[in-house]
Structure 1
Amino acid sequence: FPQRATAAGSGVIVRSDGYVITNDHVVAGADKVTVQLMDGRTFVGKVYRDPRSDLALIKINADNLPAVQFANSDDVKVGELALAFGSPFELSDTMTMGIVSSLHRHFEVTEGTNGYYYPDLIQTDASINPGNSGGPLVDIYGRVIGINTAIESQTGGNVGIGFAIPSNTVRYVMDQLIAKGRVVRGYLGVVPSTLSYDQAQMLGVKQGAFIQMVEDGSPAAKAGMQAGDVVIRFNNQPVTDEASFRDLVARTAPGTTVPVEVYRDGHDLTLNVTVGEAPSDKTEQPQQQQEMRKARGRMGIEIGDASDPDIRKKFQLNSDVKSGVVVLNVYPNSPAADAGIQPGDVIIALNGKPIKDAQALSDALAAEPSGATVRVTVRRFSANGPGETLVLFVTLY
């Protein structure tokens, strides 16, 4: 018989009229969310979700509540004292202390069919455990600098590496959820990455966001942006890396035309780009998107079926390729990148077993333990030459 499941997490009162912020993964899949205050009162809340940021806002019918004060997370420095609050293992009102260990971490979490990608996180060694999710990370003045979200651990318990979503991101998402019930983000239709030192030296730039892919018909493509460009400034603001670029684009209102300075072939160019609106996140992801997230979580790639006509046209696949999985994007410093897998490669086998589509690849990867090394057979095509078959070794996340 079906069994009723319950889960617990933490939250932060962000407005005195009954608004509470928490993680999306705390409330995802719940048919009822109950908020219990420190004075013992309980309320059934209305939930507004933003899966892309892994944040959710809960509205309860209460007034005159004590609300937190936010700090400017852009001012947070490595080495500052940090205090984490929450209910680890359902031990309510727990506080732990540590420092800010690092900034601008990116992190991927995949659980079953759900996945979250965090492009910019605060790392702390303040003890964070299951149940801390959604609770605040605060500075020595009690101001919120982040929302505790994830841990890096092989055992599931604290090992001194925790992550929090920066307070500036939390405030941006919160304000939109309160005003609109959803988060509207700007969209260009590109895949950016952060340049390594050697890559920056090779291209002749000090910093910026490298454009790996430009989607056909996207706002970026219409403005003349090309794969291989390095974005130096966006709307007159400096771009230091992938995270800063994504943030600047996301916070630009759709329909706004902004100047984008790019470095291309030794020259600076200014393009006028009309920002589009990012596609809305769905509470339940289509099956294909779920399989893409699984592959990204284990190998660090974005994928699509080789049978998809649009993908075949985009990558100019040979007619002898009738099935398999096309690599749409490879994330920097990922297992796939380390192994030499490239966008446009067609994965046709894993450990010698044929791979016909994204579902088959997902199933094969799910059967492998973390840290396993697998043999990936790919077909690779060049514009002016014959295709080739390669066998590459990938050590999975």
Structure 2
Amino acid sequence: MRLAAILPAILAVVAVVAVACGGGAAGPTQTASPTATVLASPTASPAAVTTPGGERTPLTTAEIVSLLRPSVVHILIEGTTFSVFGQPIPTEGVGTGFITDDEGHIVTNNHVVFINGETPARNITVTLSDGRQFQASLVGGDRATDLAVLKIDADNLVPARLGDTAQLEVGDDVVAIGHALDLAGGPTVTRGVVSAKERLIQEDPYMIPGAIQTDAPINPGNSGGPLVNMYGEVVGITTQVIRGTAEGIGFAISIDTAKPIAQELIEKGQVERGYLGINMINITPSIAKEYDLPVDSGVGIGSVQNGSPADRAGLEAGDIIVRAAGEEIKNSGDLLKVLTEHRAGDRVPIEYYRDGDLQETEVTLG
């Protein structure tokens, strides 16, 4: 049975994900080769011991802290909010960030340096582990993925080593470092495990695919700090925008998601995210069985925006997307991840089912 014929029934019980496929001023575009290397490819940490067989020996938590402490910074922001009567109210906030290159770029959360996620902070003071303080400039922010980049003019910086989230396994130990609750005496260190990968953080205005779930405690002030593997490499950026309703649930933005976003912020100051122009429905085994669909996973198209890239590529309500850009699409999170990794103008091949037949088209993202 074609999905379009049963959409009213499905929509009665399944929420439509009316997100990612919309565009906007806070999202990425295809660019030429990067001119600055803010987020470099991972390399072996100099503190990690390599065996004759080429395997690295995990570090202790104390060794990780010693390695990362010079890279982790305290961020104090000053700004202005307004009362319901329009009167200005001075406000301050605290967060964490980490240095990513010798040029002074610092990655943190967007909500740390934007008041209410929208208005840039008036003053941003960055304090290094050696006590030096600098006024930081705001390079740019992306509200959707809760990422921002700052820059300070300083010498003798120690950039953090970046890891590869793809190499991270559920159950691996991780360490979170950040200025929790703005306590005096330096950053707070907590340890936990990777509870899950590929979580989709989706709560207006946030749309963060591929997030890491961890039970390492993440408290206010931790936001923007690094989540580190046991080789001393940053694999995630902790965020407080979504807090688990249960004990022991915290989230971090995958470093693999963060790299292209941060790079584009450095190059352009903003992200111009490509879009498809569809509303999505997650296809589950129970839905597939009840409505006799040809596949038990994928992304069903609830509707297509007129004149959108999806419309121009011939996609229709009722189609079920199962592959995009060569990646298997099992749910909306998979599709959002593909869109996050691509830019406006990119040509993305899409495989989909229509009337039980597998078909293919190419979409030029808007």
Question: Same fold by TM (over 0.5)?
Answer: yes
Deviation per residue, 1:290-325 (Å, 9 max, x gap): xxxxxxxxxxxxxxxxxxxxxxxxxxxxxxxxxxxx
The equivalent position to 1:84 in structure 2, one of 157, 173, 176, is: 176
Cα separation, 1, equivalents of 2:88 and 2:323: 54
Shift, 1:247, TM fit: 2.0
Q: SS at the partner of 1:187? A: coil
Q: Which residue of 1 aligns with 2:364?
A: 274
Q: Which residue of 1 aligns with 2:215?
A: 125
The equivalent position to 2:136 in structure 1, one of 25, 40, 45, is: 45
Cα 1:116–1:245 change in 2 (3 A) is: closer
Contact 2:284 2:297 in 1 (8 A): no
Q: Which residue of 1 aligns with 2:106?
A: 20
Superposition map of 1:376-391 within 5 A: none
Cα separation, 1, equivalents of 2:154 and 2:181: 27
Q: Which residue of 2 aligns with 1:260?
A: 350
Cα separation, 1, equivalents of 2:293 and 2:167: 31
Contact 1:17 1:64 in 2 (8 A): no
The equivalent position to 2:317 in structure 1, one of 199, 222, 227, is: 227
Which structure 1 residue ranges, 5 or more long, are not aligned? 277-397
Superposition map of 1:179-198 within 5 A: 179-198=267-286
Tell which has more relative contact order, 1 or 2 (C-alpha 8 A, sep 6+).
2
Shift, 1:233, TM fit: 1.7
Deviation per residue, 1:253-284 (Å, 9 max, x gap): 322333211111100111122221xxxxxxxx
Superposition map of 1:235-254 within 5 A: 235-254=325-344
Q: Which residue of 2 aligns with 1:105?
A: 199
Q: Aligned AA for 1:28?
A: F
Aligned residues: 269
Q: Which residue of 1 aligns with 2:147?
A: 55
Q: Which residue of 2 aligns with 1:160?
A: 248
Q: Aligned AA for 2:190?
A: T
Q: Percent identity?
A: 40
Contact 2:323 2:351 in 1 (8 A): yes
Shift, 1:77, TM fit: 1.4
TM norm structure 1: 0.64
Shift, 1:72, TM fit: 1.3
Shift, 1:214, TM fit: 1.1
Cα separation, 2, equivalents of 1:165 and 1:193: 24
My pick for the range that moved more, 81-90 or 208-217, is: 208-217
Cα 1:245–1:275 change in 2 (3 A) is: same
Q: Which residue of 1 aligns with 2:83?
A: none
Q: Which residue of 2 aligns with 1:95?
A: 189
Cα separation, 2, equivalents of 1:109 and 1:25: 14
Contact 2:322 2:328 in 1 (8 A): yes
Cα separation, 2, equivalents of 1:39 and 1:7: 21
Q: SS at the partner of 1:8? A: strand
Q: Which residue of 2 aligns with 1:178?
A: 266
Cα 1:216–1:21 change in 2 (3 A) is: same
The equivalent position to 1:211 in structure 2, one of 283, 295, 301, is: 301
Cα separation, 1, equivalents of 2:244 and 2:324: 36
Superposition map of 1:297-312 within 5 A: none
Cα separation, 2, equivalents of 1:83 and 1:45: 26
Contact 2:209 2:334 in 1 (8 A): no
Q: SS at the partner of 2:96? A: coil
Q: Aligned AA for 1:164?
A: A
Q: Which residue of 2 aligns with 1:344?
A: none
Which structure 2 residue ranges, 5 or more long, are not aligned? 1-86, 116-120
Cα 1:196–1:61 change in 2 (3 A) is: same
Cα separation, 2, equivalents of 1:251 and 1:116: 16
Say yes or no: does 1:72 pair with 2:160: no
Shift, 1:153, TM fit: 5.0
Shift, 1:143, TM fit: 0.8
Shift, 1:244, TM fit: 1.7
TM norm structure 2: 0.69
Shift, 1:2, TM fit: 4.4
Shift, 1:195, TM fit: 2.1
Cα separation, 2, equivalents of 1:33 and 1:75: 34
Shift, 1:93, TM fit: 1.6
Q: SS at the partner of 1:123? A: strand
Cα separation, 1, equivalents of 2:284 and 2:338: 21
Q: Aligned AA for 2:91?
A: A
Contact 1:186 1:251 in 2 (8 A): no
The equivalent position to 1:143 in structure 2, one of 233, 243, 263, is: 233
